[in-house]
Amino acid sequence: MSRRIGVGVDTGGTFTKIVSVSPEGKPLRELQIPTLAADGPRSFVRRVAEAVRWEQSALGAKAEGIGLAVAGDVDAERGMVRFSPNLRKFDRYPLRDALARAAHRKVLIANDANMAAWGAYVVELERKARNVVVVAMGTGIGGGVVIDGKLFQGSTGSAGEIGHTTVDPRGPLCACGARGHAEAYAGSYGIVRIARKLLRGKKSLLHTLCPGLKELEPRLIAHAALEGDKIALAVWEEAGRRLGLAIADAVYLLNPDRVLIVGGVSRAGRLILDPIQAVLRAQPFKTPFDAAKVEIASTPNLGAIGAGLLALE
């Protein structure tokens, strides 16, 4: 009996992860190749196709399909990237069809956070929830929505962009150019910005952990907070409360049974989860908030896993 596998490709600005998955979302093999974004999409497609062939022969199985996850504005229907800040040369290139030809496999393409949402839904929730909002915390804040057990991508593939919902119209600039988006507070650059603001003229363990505050990053701020540093704790409190406002809006809009927080920055755990939950608990309209269980998902590589799984759907 031949095994069913899907291959997920998570295209980052620097590295691309290629993960072969079972229909349950179990990662069977992982391979990382350099993206070499400056070389352009043709070289990328050729190397991904090679890597997929390698994975298939190592597993002794043919992939049913390849899912391609890309950060940025992705046109799933036409199978191309409209705009991706880290992959400028890929814009408008027919990525899906080129990879399908090179790898002789069916290919689908979507935004990486949407793919991660699907991965989280299958792997973390084992499809047991019905309506799910996934918040992906990294440099930016991405997101995805599962409605009635199906990934909902919206009219242009842009659904679930919770990071770009406004929590303060006069707030700091978001990477997208707007003011006061949730990402401007709780994306890693937003968290670092809050820290720099709160640290001004104050004593903190962060000055010792990170001399000159040159390489300040969420991991260090979490470390200081867990050591009891008051400023670091206040940073997570503010980031979490702002993100909590965006999540509250999503709960009002979609009435999910789960909110899953994923991504590298979510490793801060309770530091980010507690203030989010405080905001949700404080909402006066209790019914949707009593129903929405919020948790942090710990599975790594959900973008690639979700892409591989979606290729199997």
Which three-class secondary structure state does DSSP give residue 186? helix
Piece in contact with Zn ion (CB under 5 A), picked from 104-112, 169-177, 252-260, 271-279: 169-177
Q: Residue 152 CB, nearest distance to Zn ion (Å)?
A: 20
Q: What are the angstrom distances between the C-alpha of 80 and each of 70, 157, 160?
A: 10, 11, 19
Q: Pick from 96, 164, 241, 242: which binds Zn ion (CB under 5 A)? A: 164
In this complex, which beta carbon is closest to Zn ion, that of residue 60 or of residue 177? Answer: 177
In this complex, which beta carbon is closest to Zn ion, that of residue 135 or of residue 174? Answer: 174
Q: Residue 165 CB, nearest distance to Zn ion (Å)?
A: 8
* Extended beta strands in 80-238, E state: 80-83, 106-111, 132-137, 141-147, 150-152
Q: Residue 183 CB, nearest distance to Zn ion (Å)?
A: 5
Q: Is 242 in the site for Zn ion (CB under 5 A)?
A: no
> How many residues line the site for Zn ion (CB under 5 A)?
5
Q: What are the angstrom distances between the C-alpha of 168 and each of 134, 218, 234?
A: 22, 22, 18
Q: Residue 245 CB, nearest distance to Zn ion (Å)?
A: 14
CA pair distance 68, 304, nearest whole angstrom? 8
Which three-class secondary structure state does DSSP give residue 308? helix
Smallest CA-to-CA distance from 251 within 101, 102, 132 is with 132
Pairing of strands 27-34, 15-21: antiparallel
Q: Is 174 in the site for Zn ion (CB under 5 A)?
A: yes
Cβ atoms of 223 and 260 closer than 8 Å: no
Structure tokens belonging to residue 65: 């399909």
Q: Is 278 in the site for Zn ion (CB under 5 A)?
A: no
Q: State the DSSP code for 3.
A: P
CA pair distance 115, 99, nearest whole angstrom? 18
In this complex, which beta carbon is closest to Zn ion, that of residue 121 or of residue 185? Answer: 185
In this complex, which beta carbon is closest to Zn ion, that of residue 70 or of residue 304? Answer: 70
Query: For Zn ion, which residue has the nearest CB?
Result: 174
Q: Is 181 in the site for Zn ion (CB under 5 A)?
A: yes
Q: What are the angstrom distances between the C-alpha of 206 and each of 81, 178, 265, 275?
A: 39, 29, 17, 21
In this complex, which beta carbon is closest to Zn ion, that of residue 161 or of residue 238? Answer: 161
In this complex, which beta carbon is closest to Zn ion, that of residue 90 or of residue 185? Answer: 185
Q: Is 302 in the site for Zn ion (CB under 5 A)?
A: no
Q: Residue 162 CB, nearest distance to Zn ion (Å)?
A: 10
Q: Pick from 36, 58, 173, 176: which binds Zn ion (CB under 5 A)? A: 176
Q: What are the residues binding Zn ion (CB under 5 A)?
A: 164, 174, 176, 178, 181
